[in-house]
Structure 1
Amino acid sequence: MNAQTSEEVKMNQLRLKATIESIRWLCLQECALRGHDESSSSNNQEKVPRNAKYTSPDIQKGILHILSKRVRKKISEEVGNAKFCLLVDEAKDMISNKEQMTIVLRFVDRDGFLLECLFDIVHVVDTTPVTLKKEICNVLGRHELYIKDIRGQGYDGASICVAHGTDCKLFF
């Protein structure tokens, strides 16, 4: 294996930084990450040495995963020990054909402003109340947010609770 020169390391760091900033910008603008022709015959190919592929889906997903972890950490720090509301919705992802659940937190920040933040999207095996509750507890627990601090709940999938003959208030 050939060691990189300090100049090559600096160039790779610069390319990676530019990639991260581009992904952040695209996410803030709600734009797709892919979509242009980057095949071997395209004029739109990434110009990088050897096998470096900063636009590969795996690299982009890895960067998005790191950014999303940082956002969740920041949100959970902002909530801290304060009371919060939980908003949950479930739907089937039409591309992967998997059930998924979104978790949104509503809370008052340190400056007194009401915030509503998308906290996580979780793939679930089914959308029964028991499964949803288990996954909600897992997500909140990983981020040191506690059920005892929930002061309100909203579930768009209330018909699922009725179909299963359960109370939609999963925690109270």
Structure 2
Amino acid sequence: MVRFILLQALAFCGHDESHTSSNKGNFLELADWLKMRDEGAKNILDNASRNNFLTSPYLQKDMCEACAKQTTKAILDEIGDKKFSILVDESHDSSIKEQMASVLRYVNSKGHVIERFLGVENVLDTT
């Protein structure tokens, strides 16, 4: 579920995540969809203790960071011992926070130039 939400660049939560809400947010709606189609997932999610619904923003951020680490490892495995370059660009967002974006560029075994986005980091100064 987390990988799907990240791949689609969706928000995890909605405005009203109560049981009576008609739209509980992407994460809970996807969990409900999964429960309707997979009996094993239904048993796990329906029998989870009250504090184990995976809806904590801190836990969801940890899950996102775990996916980011797996993705970075897959990119590094794909590069192997080939030469690569690092592209770094800076900008500021609408709240005037300085940000730095990082991209790896390399040539794959078929001779195609590949660029892989690594992430955006908030920085104090971009000099």
Common fold: TM-score over 0.5? yes
Q: Give me the CA root mean square deviation.
A: 2.5
* Structure ID, larger Rg: 1
Alignment match, 2:35: none
Q: Pairwise mapping of residues 32-51 of structure 1 onto structure 2 (< 5 A)?
A: 32-39=11-18, 42=21, 44=24, 48-51=48-51
Kindly provide the CA deviation profile for residues 5-43 of structure 1, in whole angstroms up to 9, marking residues without a partner as x.
Answer: xxxxxxxxxxxxxxxxx1211111222222241147746
The structural deviation recorded for 1:89 is: 1.4
What is the TM-score normalised by the length of structure 2?
0.68
Gaps of 5+ in 2: 29-45
The structural deviation recorded for 1:103 is: 0.5
Kindly provide the CA deviation profile for residues 108-161 of structure 1, in whole angstroms up to 9, marking residues without a partner as x.
Answer: 123433211101322211010xxxxxxxxxxxxxxxxxxxxxxxxxxxxxxxxx
Give the paired residue count. Answer: 106
Kindly provide the CA deviation profile for residues 79-99 of structure 1, in whole angstroms up to 9, marking residues without a partner as x.
Answer: 22212222221122436x532
Alignment pair present for 1:24 and 2:23: no
Structure ranking higher on relative contact order (CA contacts 8 Å, 6+ apart): 1
Q: Pairwise mapping of residues 12-161 of structure 1 onto structure 2 (< 5 A)?
A: 22-39=1-18, 42=21, 44=24, 48-94=48-94, 97-128=96-127
Are 1:104 and 1:117, in contact at CA under 8 Å, matched by a contact in 2? yes
Gaps of 5+ in 1: 1-21, 129-172
> Distance between the aligned counterparts of 1:39 and 1:91, measured in 2?
38
Alignment match, 2:43: none
Are 1:92 and 1:98, in contact at CA under 8 Å, matched by a contact in 2? yes
State the AA in 1 paired with 2:72: R
What is the TM-score normalised by the length of structure 1?
0.52
Identity of aligned residues (%): 41
State the AA in 2 paired with 1:82: K
> Distance between the aligned counterparts of 1:64 and 1:100, measured in 2?
19
Alignment match, 2:36: none
> Distance between the aligned counterparts of 1:50 and 1:39, measured in 2?
13
